[in-house]
Amino acid sequence: MSGLILYIANKNYSSWSFRPWMAMTGCGIAFEERLVRFDFPAGNPDIRAISPTGQVPVLQHGALKICESLAIIEYVAELFPQAGLWPRDVGQRALARSFSMEMATGFRALRNACPMNMRRKPRSIALPDGVMDNVRRIEAIWTECLNRSGGPFLFGAFSAADAMFAPVVNRFSSFLLTRDDTAARYMQAMSSHPAFIQWQAAALLEPWIVPEDEVPGELPALQP
């Protein structure tokens, strides 16, 4: 064990937890996972004892605590430079970081209208303004990367950039947001990755429902 502890929230909903978990698992980096349930109104009141921001994910390494998905990935990439979290080529590495930052800070219309939900059966909804603009931009990023690298992942081999877009794969599939052939091939590659499969399988076993993370009017008939 590496001495790394990753605090995450419910796997069914927590897209930000999914990103560093997917990056570390997909690149073979050992860590201890600790799940903090977020099925309480307005979150879990105990999270403040773990996270200085009151949010997850949080990576703990000894006395050090690191918040924010992309910052966690960057820290782990420095600890394990041979793990392949970022492309080796300096230009491709810069592009991977650029697109990852765009994912971290942008696409708010998509995130707000189409939350990640691993158990949701695929179906479309009426989309507010801005969502399809986000979808087209993501399709363009994926197409640019895959045309350059040849796939199956954005920069050829699996990397942190793929992990940053992993929740989008669920969103596109769950809400039937794309008919683009290149996007479909990439989504198939991602959803077939062992780390993606492992996360999704655990998410489907969770009994917790968080109404505020469900699409309005679609609350599932599950027993908490």
Please state whether beta strands 58-61 and 4-8 pair in parallel, antiparallel, or not at all (unpaired).
Answer: antiparallel
DSSP 3-state of 31: coil
Q: What is the pTM of this model?
A: 0.93
CA–CA dist 168, 157 (Å, integer): 19
Task: Find, among 170, 171, 169, 194, the residue nearest to 183 by Cα.
Answer: 169
Asked if the bond preceding 152 is cis, omega within 30° of 0, the reply is yes
DSSP 3-state of 61: strand
In the CATH hierarchy, which fold is given to the domain comprising 4-83+205-213? Glutaredoxin (3.40.30)
Site of tokens 């303004």: 129
What is the assigned CATH class of domain 90-199? mainly alpha
Domain boundaries, given as residue ranges, for the chain? 4-83+205-213, 90-199
- What does the block give as tokens for 137? 């931009």
Alpha helices in 150-222 (DSSP H): 160-174, 181-191, 194-205
pLDDT score of 42: 57
Q: What does the CA dihedral 48, 52, 57, 60 come to, rounded to 10 degrees? A: -110
pLDDT score of 51: 79
pLDDT score of 43: 58
The vertex-190 CA angle with 32 and 33, nearest 5°, equals 10
Q: What is the pLDDT along the chain (224 residues), one digit of tens a residue?
A: 479 999 999 999 999 999 999 999 999 999 999 998 876 655 566 777 787 877 899 999 999 999 999 999 999 999 999 999 999 999 999 999 999 999 999 999 999 999 999 999 999 999 999 999 999 999 999 999 999 999 999 999 999 999 999 999 999 999 999 999 999 999 999 999 999 999 999 999 999 888 888 998 887 755 44
- Residue 28 CB burial class (10 angstroms; 0-12, 13-18, ≥19): exposed
Q: Across the beta sheet with 64-67, what order do the strands follow?
A: 32-35, 4-8, 58-61, 64-67
pLDDT score of 50: 80
pLDDT score of 211: 85
